[in-house]
Amino acid sequence: MRDDYRHEIKFEISQGDVIAIRQRLGALARRDSHARDGSYLIRSLYFDTAEDTALREKLDGVRFREKFRIRAYNKNKSYLRLEKKTKLNGLGTKDMANLRENEVRKILDGNIWWMGNTSRELVRELYTRMKNQNLRPRVLVDYTREPFVYDPGNVRVTIDSNIRTGLSFQDFFDFECPTIPVKGDPVILEVKWDSFLPSVIRDAVQLDHREIAYSKYASCRMFDSGLC
Protein backbone atom coordinates (compact mmCIF):
# COMPACT_ATOMS: atom_id res chain seq x y z
CA MET A 1 0.00 0.00 0.00
CA ARG A 2 1.18 3.55 -0.69
CA ASP A 3 2.65 5.41 2.26
CA ASP A 4 0.66 8.63 1.71
CA TYR A 5 -2.77 7.33 2.71
CA ARG A 6 -4.57 9.47 5.30
CA HIS A 7 -7.36 8.70 7.72
CA GLU A 8 -10.69 10.19 6.63
CA ILE A 9 -13.99 10.31 8.52
CA LYS A 10 -17.20 12.21 7.79
CA PHE A 11 -20.18 13.27 9.89
CA GLU A 12 -23.45 14.99 9.12
CA ILE A 13 -23.89 17.83 11.60
CA SER A 14 -26.54 20.39 12.49
CA GLN A 15 -26.37 24.16 12.14
CA GLY A 16 -25.96 24.33 15.91
CA ASP A 17 -22.97 22.01 15.64
CA VAL A 18 -21.46 24.26 12.96
CA ILE A 19 -21.51 27.28 15.27
CA ALA A 20 -20.00 25.38 18.22
CA ILE A 21 -17.32 23.57 16.18
CA ARG A 22 -16.37 26.76 14.35
CA GLN A 23 -15.82 28.55 17.66
CA ARG A 24 -13.77 25.73 19.16
CA LEU A 25 -11.60 25.23 16.08
CA GLY A 26 -11.13 28.98 15.75
CA ALA A 27 -9.27 28.94 19.07
CA LEU A 28 -7.09 25.94 18.13
CA ALA A 29 -6.50 25.73 14.41
CA ARG A 30 -5.63 28.15 11.63
CA ARG A 31 -7.69 28.92 8.58
CA ASP A 32 -6.63 27.51 5.24
CA SER A 33 -4.64 30.21 3.42
CA HIS A 34 -6.84 29.84 0.30
CA ALA A 35 -10.06 30.67 2.13
CA ARG A 36 -11.68 34.05 1.57
CA ASP A 37 -13.45 35.32 4.69
CA GLY A 38 -13.09 31.82 6.10
CA SER A 39 -14.45 29.75 3.20
CA TYR A 40 -14.20 29.09 -0.53
CA LEU A 41 -16.37 27.71 -3.31
CA ILE A 42 -15.64 24.38 -4.97
CA ARG A 43 -17.03 23.13 -8.25
CA SER A 44 -16.21 19.52 -9.15
CA LEU A 45 -16.87 17.70 -12.41
CA TYR A 46 -17.01 13.95 -11.70
CA PHE A 47 -16.31 11.16 -14.19
CA ASP A 48 -17.94 7.76 -14.37
CA THR A 49 -18.57 4.97 -16.86
CA ALA A 50 -21.79 4.38 -18.78
CA GLU A 51 -22.46 1.56 -16.28
CA ASP A 52 -22.04 3.94 -13.29
CA THR A 53 -19.09 1.95 -11.98
CA ALA A 54 -17.88 4.58 -9.50
CA LEU A 55 -21.38 5.21 -8.22
CA ARG A 56 -22.19 1.52 -7.80
CA GLU A 57 -18.89 0.84 -6.02
CA LYS A 58 -19.63 3.65 -3.59
CA LEU A 59 -23.17 2.47 -2.88
CA ASP A 60 -22.01 -1.15 -2.54
CA GLY A 61 -19.21 -0.22 -0.12
CA VAL A 62 -16.37 -1.62 -2.24
CA ARG A 63 -13.24 -1.41 -0.08
CA PHE A 64 -10.93 -0.14 -2.86
CA ARG A 65 -12.28 2.64 -5.09
CA GLU A 66 -10.91 5.26 -7.46
CA LYS A 67 -12.69 8.37 -8.68
CA PHE A 68 -11.65 11.09 -11.14
CA ARG A 69 -12.78 14.72 -11.00
CA ILE A 70 -11.84 18.16 -12.30
CA ARG A 71 -12.02 21.02 -9.82
CA ALA A 72 -12.34 24.80 -9.94
CA TYR A 73 -12.06 27.04 -6.89
CA ASN A 74 -13.84 30.35 -6.26
CA LYS A 75 -15.06 30.48 -9.90
CA ASN A 76 -11.45 30.86 -11.04
CA LYS A 77 -10.89 29.53 -14.57
CA SER A 78 -7.12 30.03 -14.34
CA TYR A 79 -6.63 27.45 -11.58
CA LEU A 80 -8.07 24.09 -12.58
CA ARG A 81 -7.02 20.71 -11.25
CA LEU A 82 -7.51 17.10 -12.24
CA GLU A 83 -7.69 14.81 -9.23
CA LYS A 84 -7.86 11.07 -8.70
CA LYS A 85 -9.23 10.17 -5.27
CA THR A 86 -8.36 6.68 -4.05
CA LYS A 87 -10.11 5.13 -1.05
CA LEU A 88 -9.12 1.98 0.83
CA ASN A 89 -11.42 1.26 3.77
CA GLY A 90 -11.18 4.34 6.00
CA LEU A 91 -8.03 5.66 4.33
CA GLY A 92 -7.67 7.95 1.34
CA THR A 93 -5.08 9.52 -0.91
CA LYS A 94 -5.17 11.92 -3.82
CA ASP A 95 -3.17 12.43 -7.03
CA MET A 96 -3.32 15.81 -8.77
CA ALA A 97 -2.36 17.54 -12.01
CA ASN A 98 -3.00 21.07 -13.22
CA LEU A 99 -5.14 21.68 -16.31
CA ARG A 100 -5.60 24.73 -18.52
CA GLU A 101 -9.01 26.11 -19.39
CA ASN A 102 -8.71 25.18 -23.07
CA GLU A 103 -7.80 21.62 -22.09
CA VAL A 104 -10.87 21.25 -19.91
CA ARG A 105 -13.04 22.65 -22.71
CA LYS A 106 -11.60 20.01 -25.04
CA ILE A 107 -12.48 17.26 -22.56
CA LEU A 108 -16.03 18.62 -22.28
CA ASP A 109 -16.30 18.50 -26.09
CA GLY A 110 -14.99 14.92 -26.25
CA ASN A 111 -11.65 15.95 -27.75
CA ILE A 112 -9.22 13.81 -25.76
CA TRP A 113 -6.52 12.72 -28.23
CA TRP A 114 -4.03 15.30 -26.89
CA MET A 115 -4.19 13.76 -23.41
CA GLY A 116 -2.20 10.71 -24.45
CA ASN A 117 0.80 12.86 -25.42
CA THR A 118 1.15 15.06 -22.35
CA SER A 119 3.96 14.70 -19.82
CA ARG A 120 1.42 14.78 -16.95
CA GLU A 121 1.05 11.19 -15.81
CA LEU A 122 -2.39 11.62 -14.26
CA VAL A 123 -3.79 13.21 -17.45
CA ARG A 124 -2.44 10.26 -19.45
CA GLU A 125 -4.08 7.86 -16.98
CA LEU A 126 -7.45 9.57 -17.38
CA TYR A 127 -7.02 9.37 -21.16
CA THR A 128 -6.40 5.61 -20.90
CA ARG A 129 -9.50 5.18 -18.71
CA MET A 130 -11.59 7.23 -21.12
CA LYS A 131 -10.38 5.15 -24.06
CA ASN A 132 -10.54 1.71 -22.45
CA GLN A 133 -13.31 2.04 -19.86
CA ASN A 134 -15.46 4.69 -21.55
CA LEU A 135 -15.02 7.01 -18.59
CA ARG A 136 -16.86 10.27 -19.25
CA PRO A 137 -17.86 13.50 -17.43
CA ARG A 138 -21.13 12.84 -15.59
CA VAL A 139 -22.20 15.51 -13.10
CA LEU A 140 -21.36 18.86 -11.53
CA VAL A 141 -21.11 19.22 -7.75
CA ASP A 142 -20.99 22.66 -6.10
CA TYR A 143 -20.51 23.45 -2.42
CA THR A 144 -19.02 25.89 0.07
CA ARG A 145 -16.08 24.69 2.17
CA GLU A 146 -14.90 26.11 5.47
CA PRO A 147 -11.41 24.68 6.17
CA PHE A 148 -9.28 24.49 9.31
CA VAL A 149 -5.68 23.24 9.59
CA TYR A 150 -3.92 21.92 12.68
CA ASP A 151 -0.24 21.12 12.12
CA PRO A 152 0.33 18.35 14.72
CA GLY A 153 -0.87 15.19 13.01
CA ASN A 154 -1.27 17.15 9.75
CA VAL A 155 -4.98 17.53 10.54
CA ARG A 156 -7.44 19.14 8.17
CA VAL A 157 -11.03 19.74 9.24
CA THR A 158 -13.60 20.98 6.73
CA ILE A 159 -17.25 21.97 7.00
CA ASP A 160 -19.06 21.59 3.66
CA SER A 161 -22.47 23.16 3.09
CA ASN A 162 -24.86 24.32 0.35
CA ILE A 163 -24.19 21.17 -1.67
CA ARG A 164 -25.81 21.49 -5.09
CA THR A 165 -25.75 19.80 -8.48
CA GLY A 166 -25.81 21.27 -11.97
CA LEU A 167 -28.15 20.09 -14.69
CA SER A 168 -25.41 19.48 -17.29
CA PHE A 169 -21.67 18.84 -17.05
CA GLN A 170 -21.32 21.13 -20.09
CA ASP A 171 -22.06 24.03 -17.70
CA PHE A 172 -18.75 23.57 -15.89
CA PHE A 173 -17.54 27.08 -16.79
CA ASP A 174 -20.95 28.71 -16.39
CA PHE A 175 -20.76 29.63 -12.72
CA GLU A 176 -24.19 31.26 -12.85
CA CYS A 177 -25.97 28.18 -14.23
CA PRO A 178 -29.03 26.88 -12.35
CA THR A 179 -28.21 24.35 -9.64
CA ILE A 180 -30.35 22.12 -7.42
CA PRO A 181 -29.75 21.50 -3.68
CA VAL A 182 -29.25 17.86 -2.72
CA LYS A 183 -31.87 16.12 -0.61
CA GLY A 184 -31.92 17.25 3.00
CA ASP A 185 -29.47 20.12 2.49
CA PRO A 186 -26.85 18.37 4.67
CA VAL A 187 -23.82 19.94 6.33
CA ILE A 188 -20.84 17.57 6.26
CA LEU A 189 -17.94 17.67 8.70
CA GLU A 190 -14.84 15.90 7.40
CA VAL A 191 -11.69 15.19 9.41
CA LYS A 192 -8.42 14.01 7.83
CA TRP A 193 -5.13 13.21 9.53
CA ASP A 194 -1.94 11.22 9.10
CA SER A 195 -0.78 8.83 11.82
CA PHE A 196 -2.56 10.32 14.85
CA LEU A 197 -5.47 12.63 15.66
CA PRO A 198 -4.66 14.99 18.55
CA SER A 199 -7.11 14.76 21.42
CA VAL A 200 -7.75 18.52 21.38
CA ILE A 201 -9.11 18.23 17.84
CA ARG A 202 -11.07 15.09 18.67
CA ASP A 203 -12.70 16.97 21.55
CA ALA A 204 -13.26 20.12 19.49
CA VAL A 205 -15.21 18.34 16.76
CA GLN A 206 -16.96 16.00 19.21
CA LEU A 207 -16.45 12.67 17.50
CA ASP A 208 -19.37 11.14 19.30
CA HIS A 209 -21.40 12.07 16.22
CA ARG A 210 -22.40 9.08 14.11
CA GLU A 211 -19.90 8.53 11.33
CA ILE A 212 -21.42 8.31 7.86
CA ALA A 213 -20.28 7.16 4.45
CA TYR A 214 -21.45 10.32 2.69
CA SER A 215 -20.63 10.98 -0.95
CA LYS A 216 -21.36 14.32 -2.63
CA TYR A 217 -21.06 12.59 -5.98
CA ALA A 218 -23.63 9.93 -5.11
CA SER A 219 -26.00 12.51 -3.64
CA CYS A 220 -25.81 14.63 -6.78
CA ARG A 221 -26.38 11.63 -9.04
CA MET A 222 -29.76 10.91 -7.41
CA PHE A 223 -31.46 13.00 -10.08
CA ASP A 224 -30.37 10.89 -13.05
CA SER A 225 -29.06 7.51 -11.91
CA GLY A 226 -32.11 5.79 -10.46
CA LEU A 227 -29.75 4.13 -7.96
CA CYS A 228 -30.00 6.45 -4.97
Note the pLDDT tens digit of each residue in 133-190: 999 999 999 999 999 999 999 999 999 999 999 889 999 999 999 999 998 899 999 9
Q: Are 86 and 58 in contact (CB under 8 A)?
A: no
**Ranges 38-42, 56-60, 109-113: which has the least confidence:** 56-60
> What's the pTM value of the predicted model, to 2 decimals?
0.92
Section 15-36 average pLDDT? 90
Euclidean distance between CA atoms 16 and 49, whole angstroms: 39
Query: Helix and strand tally (H, E) in the chain?
Result: 6, 11
Query: Residue 182: how many CA atoms within 13 Å on its side-chain side?
Result: 24
Share of the chain above pLDDT 70, in %: 93
CB 29, CB 148: distance < 8 Å: yes
Q: What is the CA radius of gyration of the chain?
A: 18
Note the CATH number of domain 6-223.
Answer: 2.40.320.10
Residues pairing with 149 in the sheet: 30, 156
Reduced to 3 states (helix: H, G, I; strand: E, B; else coil), residue 130 is helix
